[in-house]
Structure 1
């Protein structure tokens, strides 16, 4: 199994880079991040995209109260 990097754009994870495993590398995949620290629960969703120029990137696709 190989790994590659994925970058986050927007929201609370903006700028984060982490490993992306083969089985996770599917364009359109949604990732939900739940922030619970020091206040109300905040849910943020990211959508995975791939381009040859930028590689794998999770883009912020909205927040839910």
Structure 2
């Protein structure tokens, strides 16, 4: 893994946009908007949904 590319991508990713999406979804499902609840959701998403979502996106974009 290229440290340069990693740093560039990490800077490009907007953590505020992720936090806003989590808080909006908590609100839409009538779950209390707390940092702890948001962290639980984000960690669960990272472990259970992000890997498959990334695989699907990469296949869809680059397997043409």
* Greater helix proportion: 2
* Larger Cα-atom Rg: 2
* Greater strand proportion: 1
Asked if TM exceeds 0.5, the reply is no
Per the normalisation by structure 1, the TM-score is: 0.20
Per the normalisation by structure 2, the TM-score is: 0.21
Q: Which has the higher contact order (CA 8 A, sep 6+)?
A: 1
